[in-house]
Amino acid sequence: MPLSSDCALLVIDAQNGFMPGGGLPVAQGDAIVPVINRMAPLFENAVLTQDWHPASHVSFAANHPGRQPFDVIELPYGPQVLWPTHCVQGTPDAALHPQLHVPQAQLILRKGCRPQVDSYSAFTEADRAATTGLAAWLHARGIRHLYLCGLATDYCVAWSALDARAAGFAVTVVEDACRAIDLNGSLARAWADMNAAGVQRASSQSLLAG
């Protein structure tokens, strides 16, 4: 049974770059695509996000001589994990997975576009000052409850979920439609933070069962 019109599906970064063979592959990342496709028809409203980095992006280890992927450096806004080069603007790596099928999506939000600031969250960039405008867009459409899925659970999904709660939305993470990087315990920390913020968990099966 379709969910009410005040609900929206937020698909986080279901891009080639986070799939096996991509620039920053998440283990079994491609397994989420059929799950998302099965539950997408439940939603009248949907938004997709894309990491959309310039090649010079500050989060890329390749742009810091002597540094390796997954090192952590200090930037003006705080600690920053250095990542393998991924989801560079206009490249196949940045494209949405070709089998992703959410035709009713009204918005594709590109984030991480500014060279000197990362943006895990779909709502607020890593400097915690610049917003993407997504919260206002959703509020203007009467959306009250967001269902999040995508990649990766412990970074872009979790940060988006926490910011969505701070913006006043009810939030449910669809666990089997996500996969994690789990860097040095990051998955457990992310779930602890989400639980404390009142983020709910669900499975795609429970949604499809009504």
From 87, 149, 156, 178, active-site residue: 156
From 51, 111, 154, 178, active-site residue: 111
- Asked whether the predicted pLDDT for residue 171 surpasses 90, the reply is yes
CA separation for the pair 82, 68 (Å, rounded): 7
Q: What is the mean pLDDT of the segment spanning 135-161? A: 98
Q: What is the mean pLDDT of the segment spanning 149-168? A: 98
Amino acid identity for residue 168 in this structure: G
DSSP string, the chain: -PPPTTEEEEEE--BGGGSTTSSSPPTTGGGHHHHHHHHGGG-SEEEEEEE-B-TT-TTBGGGSTT--TT-EEEETTEEEE-B-S--BTTSGGGSBPTT---TT--EEEEE--STT----SSSB-TTSS-B-SHHHHHHHTT--EEEEEEE-IIIIIHHHHHHHHHTT-EEEEEEEEEE----SSHHHHHHHHHHHTT-EEE-HHHHHT-
CA separation for the pair 17, 94 (Å, rounded): 6
From 13, 30, 93, 118, active-site residue: 13
- Asked whether the predicted pLDDT for residue 1 surpasses 80, the reply is no
- 184: which 2 tokens? 């040095």
Q: Read off the pLDDT of residues 24-73 as tens digits, 9 standing for 90 and up.
A: 999 999 999 999 999 999 999 999 999 999 999 999 999 999 999 999 99
The question of whether 193 is a catalytic residue gets the answer: no
- The model's confidence at residue 107, banded by pLDDT at 50, 70 and 90, is very high
Cα dihedral angle (19, 20, 21, 23), rounded to 10 degrees? 50
Average of per-residue pLDDT values in the chain: 97
- Asked whether the predicted pLDDT for residue 2 surpasses 90, the reply is no
- Give the per-residue pLDDT at 137: 98
- The model's confidence at residue 210, banded by pLDDT at 50, 70 and 90, is confident
pTM equals 0.96
C-alpha distances (whole Å) from 156 to each of 38, 42, 65 are: 22, 23, 26
The question of whether 111 is a catalytic residue gets the answer: yes
Residue corresponding to tokens 């999040």: 148
Domain 7-54+95-208 annotated CATH 3.40.50.850: yes
Q: What is the mean pLDDT of the segment spanning 158-175? A: 98
Q: What is the mean pLDDT of the segment spanning 155-176? A: 98
- Asked whether the predicted pLDDT for residue 136 surpasses 90, the reply is yes
What own/partner pairs with CB < 8 Å and gap ≥ 24 does 133-140 have? 134/47, 134/107, 134/109, 135/163, 135/164, 135/167, 135/168, 135/169, 137/107, 138/8, 138/47, 138/169, 139/167, 139/168
β-pair partners for 124: 131
The question of whether 156 is a catalytic residue gets the answer: yes
Domain ranges for the chain: 7-54+95-208
